[in-house]
């Protein structure tokens, strides 16, 4: 009982003391007590450091958020750029096709033996045989041995026809032989391809002493049964002796861009039943 | 009592965070960490230790605020003591006791503190102040409920350290009597 009374008395005294201190400190004081001053002196600098850390962390978080937003924007812009590049490529493709069609139209109007225009729809996957497939066939009037022209020059001849497509043998195919002459001197020979995706043609000249120079134009001679005379084939880029050392060979660069064909003009067959 | 020094450091740290960390978080309420520390000490170590830590934390808060000195000490002491009795009864068995204790202690202590402040400093405005007080305290109460488990784990860590020290006979087990 005595211990309990003593405890209650102590608690009451403590509460009374606390209330008294509360009353004593209920208003603003210009001069804080020593413990208060000491606590502020210790905690204030630490508080400044903590506040700086918090503010720094906030700035870092804001920077990270900004970086994320910028990254998202960057990705979006990259995607837009890629899309626009695709559109630009399509526009260029259309422009090129448009130009080629205009040139082809001009060529068709210029040539009385022009039969029809055809679009290249496929290319031989083989490295050694240079063929393309056209979107016009026998139902459209395409026949074997029709000659194909691009606006810049000779392309090749039709070697097979189905009702709705035709196979065109390019000049660069090893099987393709074209009777040709040097435009400047009239020296005759045969032009054939090398295959293997090689872009050049080889012209074997009939005369071992032929007058051929770099830069000479090569055109069809019209001596064979397929090609009419005067069609531009290409330009001589070099002249050399053939492997036997007896004949003369000229390396000819085709005028037509055979690797980038999109449309060709087919000519009526030489002396055919549907010829001119 | 090995944890005595740890509690002093924790009380200073709690006050430091309370006055310089949370106020700088935009829109963050005050979780009243010193009070939560007192409650945690009471829950884990018992009423006497809870009251001691409450007294220390309350005195630090009073010294920092400099007005109505003793009110925080008195109320935090009482809160720590009550939390100690609560912990003795069922803190190991009741899930969510620490957030509930922290939230309840924050609401009650701060309400009483507001009441005391109104009563002592502005008796004429006390009723008006008290009418709006609960609404003001709701964010702080939620913050206390969120932070209480963190503080509770810290106090549990103190206890584990102390128990390990006693177990390995490092000569610091004398504080066992202080656990209440």
**Per-residue pLDDT tens digits for B101-118:** 999 999 889 888 877 777
Q: How many helices and strands in chain A, by DSSP H and E?
A: 2, 12
Supply A143's token pair. Answer: 């026949």
A23·B120 Cβ contact <8 A? yes
CA distances to A64, B45, B102, B173 from B156, rounded to whole Å, are: 35, 9, 15, 16
Give A45 to chain B, closest Cα distance, Å.
10
Crossing angle of helices B33-45/B3-16, nearest 10°? Answer: 160
For residue B20, count other CB atoms closer than 10 A to its CB.
20
Question: What ipTM goes with this model?
Answer: 0.70
Averaged over A212-234, what is the pLDDT?
91
How big is chain B by its Cα radius of gyration, in Å? Answer: 16
Q: How many helices and strands in chain B, by DSSP H and E?
A: 6, 0
B21·A54 Cβ contact <8 A? yes
B26·A58 Cβ contact <8 A? yes
Which residues of chain A are within 8 Å of residue B20 when distances are taken between CB atoms? 43, 46-48, 50-51, 54
**Per-residue pLDDT tens digits for A25-80:** 877 676 778 888 888 778 777 877 877 787 788 888 889 999 999 999 999 999 99
Q: Which residues contact residue B37 at a Cβ distance below 8 angstroms, ignoring those fewer than 6 apart? A: B7, B10, B11, B14, B53, B57, B151, B154, B155
Which residues of chain A are within 8 Å of residue B74 when distances are taken between CB atoms? 14-15, 18
Supply B176's token pair. Answer: 């066992």
Average pLDDT, chain A: 84
**Per-residue pLDDT tens digits for B31-87:** 899 999 999 999 989 899 999 999 999 999 888 877 788 888 989 999 999 999 988
pLDDT of the residue at A273: 47
pLDDT-derived band at B128, boundaries 50, 70, 90: low
- DSSP for A91-155, please give it: HHHHHHHHHHHHHHHHHHHH-TTEEEEEEEEEE---SS--EEEES--GGGT--TT-EEEETTEEE
């Amino acid at each position: 009982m005595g211990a309990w009374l003593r405890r209650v008395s102590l608690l009451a005294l403590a509460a009374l003391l606390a209330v008294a201190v509360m009353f004593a400190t209920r208003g603003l004081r210009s001069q804080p007590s020593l413990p208060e001053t000491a606590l502020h002196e210790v905690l204030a600098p630490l508080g400044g450091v903590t506040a700086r850390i918090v503010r720094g962390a906030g700035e870092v978080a804001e920077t990270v958020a900004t970086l994320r937003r910028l990254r998202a924007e960057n990705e979006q812009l990259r995607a837009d750029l890629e899309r626009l590049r695709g559109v630009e490529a399509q526009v260029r493709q259309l422009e090129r096709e448009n130009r080629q069609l205009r040139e082809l139209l001009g060529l068709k109007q210029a040539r009385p033996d022009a039969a029809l225009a055809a679009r290249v729809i496929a290319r031989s996957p083989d490295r050694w045989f240079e063929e393309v497939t056209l979107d016009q066939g026998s139902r459209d009037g395409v026949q074997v041995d029709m000659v194909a022209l691009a606006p810049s020059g000779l392309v090749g001849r039709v070697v097979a026809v189905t009702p709705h497509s035709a196979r065109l043998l390019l000049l660069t195919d090893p099987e393709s032989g074209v009777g040709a002459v040097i435009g400047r001197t009239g020296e005759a020979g045969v032009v054939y391809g090398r295959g293997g995706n090689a872009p050049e043609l080889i012209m074997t000249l009939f005369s071992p002493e032929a007058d051929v120079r770099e830069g000479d134009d090569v055109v069809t001679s019209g001596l064979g049964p397929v090609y009419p005379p005067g069609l531009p084939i290409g330009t001589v880029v070099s002249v050399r002796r053939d492997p036997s050392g007896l004949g003369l060979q000229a390396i000819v660069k085709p005028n037509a861009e055979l690797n980038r064909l999109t449309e060709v003009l087919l000519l009526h067959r030489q002396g055919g039943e549907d010829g001119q | 009592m090995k944890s005595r020094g740890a509690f002093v450091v924790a009380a200073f740290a709690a006050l430091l965070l309370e006055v310089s960390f949370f106020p700088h978080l935009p829109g963050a309420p005050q979780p009243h960490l010193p009070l939560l520390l007192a409650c945690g000490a009471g829950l884990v170590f018992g009423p006497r230790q809870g009251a001691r830590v409450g007294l220390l934390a309350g005195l630090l808060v009073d010294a920092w605020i400099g007005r109505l000195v003793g009110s925080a000490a008195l109320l935090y002491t009482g809160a720590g003591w009550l939390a100690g009795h609560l912990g003795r009864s069922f803190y190991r068995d009741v899930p969510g006791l620490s957030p509930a204790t922290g939230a309840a202690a924050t609401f009650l202590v701060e309400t009483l503190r507001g009441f005391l402040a109104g009563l002592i400093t502005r008796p004429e405005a006390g009723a008006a102040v008290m009418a709006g007080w609960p609404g003001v305290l709701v964010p702080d109460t939620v913050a206390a409920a969120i932070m209480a488990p963190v503080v509770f784990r810290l106090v549990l860590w103190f206890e584990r350290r102390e128990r390990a020290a006693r177990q390995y006979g490092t000569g610091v087990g004398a504080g066992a009597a202080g656990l209440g």
